[in-house]
Amino acid sequence: MAETIVEVQEFVDVTDSTNSLASTTASTPPLEEQPFLLHRSLNERPHTVVSASGSYLTLDNGRKILDACGGAAVAILGHGNTEVATAVSNQMSKVSYVHTLSYGTNSSEELAKCILDTPGFDHGLVKAFFVGSGSEANDAAMKMARQYWFEKGETQRTRFVARRQAYHGNTFGAMSVSGMVGRKVPYQGVLMPNVALVSAADAFHHRRADEDETQFVERLVAETEAELVLLGPDTVISFIGETVSGAALGSMPAPKGYWPAIRKLCDKYGILLHLDEVMCGTGRLGTYFAFEQEGDIRPDIVTLGKGLGGGYAPIAGMLINDRIVQGLRQGTSAFNHGHTYQAHPVTCAASLAVQRIVKREGLIERVAKLGPTLGDMVRTAFAGAKYVGDIRGRGFFWSVEFVKDKSTKQPFASSLHFGGLVTRAAFDKGVAVYPGAGTVDGLVGDHVTLAPAYNATVKEMQLAVTTLRIAYDAIVESLD
């Protein structure tokens, strides 16, 4: 019982540390002054944004904030794009809603084609399913994977294999396959029990001093195979992983060779490979799909979100390959799942406009070209920083991990909220970055992430990085 109390306290600390941009209040205000909206915290109120344009947010007090993280790596075009707004208005004037049980719309079909019909890249994905969030997309993917085996008569496949220090969403299904301990504490005992977790592809924290990259990958894959054998490979539905880790580990790519080896392992045992690209996909790394940079791995299922709608509409997607489609055709020929707002015509129209702009303006190519520049900016700014343990990322997705001791990689105590303090200091100086807590094991560890819009200027990126370093220095000075 005592151990549980400690875990809950750690959970509270981790949660509070991620709420670093809110306006603090000294005490609970009188009932008549409390908001009607349930915010993420009952003790802190978020800043009110009254307008936004390009890479900047304007608060109700007139302050302008450089949004250097796109909220949560979402706003890939920045804010206030009139072309997207016009597309939404035009769609609303035609048809704002239909139920997908009986009807379809051009905006949803055209969006699916825009994503899947990729000249020069045979990714093998043939069908798209659109929902309202990354969590919903991952839940849909889990149900699709299970139904695939059900249709084939392999009903004994009831288990999922995922990774520690992974985050796939907040719904019960997506949280069950997530490895973020701190976020799961209140729900232990009611989450899905049929999930096995293996080690994250985390070279910074877990690669041994006597291992090279190849040996580290071999150890990870051997561990995963041992877990599959222990479970019984014919009981496993899918292996689920973020192609490049997002909020949990802070834009951490897997070591070279990891994903091809996992794909080969899945093929060996007939297991589906589900890649979660909700945060790292749709061009964030300089290719449309993050897995394009990992060799010819051809996943069975891919989930997208965030950059799919660019913040102009709540939308995410599940993409499947022909293997799964044929599995359904040989059975019921129907996906036993659906949502009232599935493939919503207005959100699809918004997303379609975003994706067309990205393609027309060559923004993914721009990310590929300038991504190394952004990485160099961060490395240069934090060169020699006493409490910076690692700088990692790709494209327009870079993170700085803070440690108490660089030689041992010992993290700061979670009660200090070091990353949250740096995030707040940066915000106070006019720049929003994305905070991360529990980086090491879901309870301790701190990082901050930069995820600017694909059309952010070099000057804006440099301002963000410089301000982040100034904020870091201010916190270090206050602590030393």
CATH classification at residue 96: 3.40.640.10
Work out how many domains the chain is built from and give that number: 2
Residues 233 and 354 in one domain: yes
Residues 241 and 104 in one domain: yes
Residues 107 and 226 in one domain: yes
Residues 241 and 354 in one domain: yes
Helices 2-17, 418-428: crossing angle, 10 deg rounding: 20
Residue 443's pLDDT is what?
Answer: 93
103-130 burial by CB neighbour count: b if 16+ within 10 A, else e? eebebbeebbebbeeeeeeebbbbbbbb
Task: Pinpoint the alpha helices (H) of 152-208.
Answer: 172-176, 181-184, 203-206
Residues 123 and 210 in one domain: yes
Residue 31's pLDDT is what?
Answer: 65
Residue with tokens 């809110």: 22
Higher pLDDT, 121 or 177: 177
Rounded Cα–Cα distance for residues 388 and 285 (Å): 23
Residue 162's pLDDT is what?
Answer: 98
Residue 205's pLDDT is what?
Answer: 97
Higher pLDDT, 13 or 163: 163
Residues 356 and 385 in one domain: no
CA angle 460, 462, 468 (to 5 degrees): 105
User: Would you say residue 3 has pLDDT above 90?
Assistant: no
User: Would you say residue 372 has pLDDT above 50?
Assistant: yes
Which residue, of 332, 360, 388, is where some domain finishes?
Answer: 360
User: Would you say residue 10 has pLDDT above 50?
Assistant: no
Residues 331 and 286 in one domain: yes
Residue with tokens 């991952």: 138
Q: Mean pLDDT throughout 455-474? A: 98
Under 8 Å between Cβ of 70 and 450:
no
Rounded Cα–Cα distance for residues 256 and 230 (Å): 26
User: Would you say residue 365 has pLDDT above 60?
Assistant: yes
Residues 108 and 217 in one domain: yes
Q: Mean pLDDT throughout 425-441? A: 96
Mean pLDDT, the chain, integer = 93
Q: For 297-310, write each residue's pLDDT tens digit.
A: 999 999 999 999 99
Give the domain extent around 455: 2-80+366-479
Residue 1's pLDDT is what?
Answer: 28
Residue 326's pLDDT is what?
Answer: 97
Indicate which CATH number applies to the domain containing 461. Answer: 3.90.1150.10
Residue 26's pLDDT is what?
Answer: 46
CA–centroid distance for 16 within its chain: 20
Which residue, of 314, 329, 360, is where some domain finishes?
Answer: 360
Higher pLDDT, 7 or 389: 389
Which residue, of 302, 325, 360, is where some domain finishes?
Answer: 360
Residue 34's pLDDT is what?
Answer: 84
Residues 196 and 258 in one domain: yes
User: Would you say residue 17 has pLDDT above 80?
Assistant: no
User: Would you say residue 20 has pLDDT above 70?
Assistant: no
Give the containing element (helix H, strand E) for 399: strand 397-402
Residues 289 and 155 in one domain: yes
Residues 202 and 330 in one domain: yes
Q: Mean pLDDT throughout 215-229? A: 98
Residues 403 and 353 in one domain: no
Residue 2's pLDDT is what?
Answer: 31
Residue 121's pLDDT is what?
Answer: 80
Under 8 Å between Cβ of 315 and 348:
yes
pLDDT level of residue 225 (50, 70, 90 thresholds): very high
Residue 11's pLDDT is what?
Answer: 39
Q: For 246-292, write each residue's pLDDT tens digit.
A: 999 999 999 999 999 999 999 999 999 999 999 999 999 999 999 99
Q: Mean pLDDT throughout 314-341? A: 97
Q: For 122-172, write each residue's pLDDT tens digit.
A: 899 999 999 999 999 999 999 999 999 999 999 999 999 999 999 999 999
Residue 27's pLDDT is what?
Answer: 59
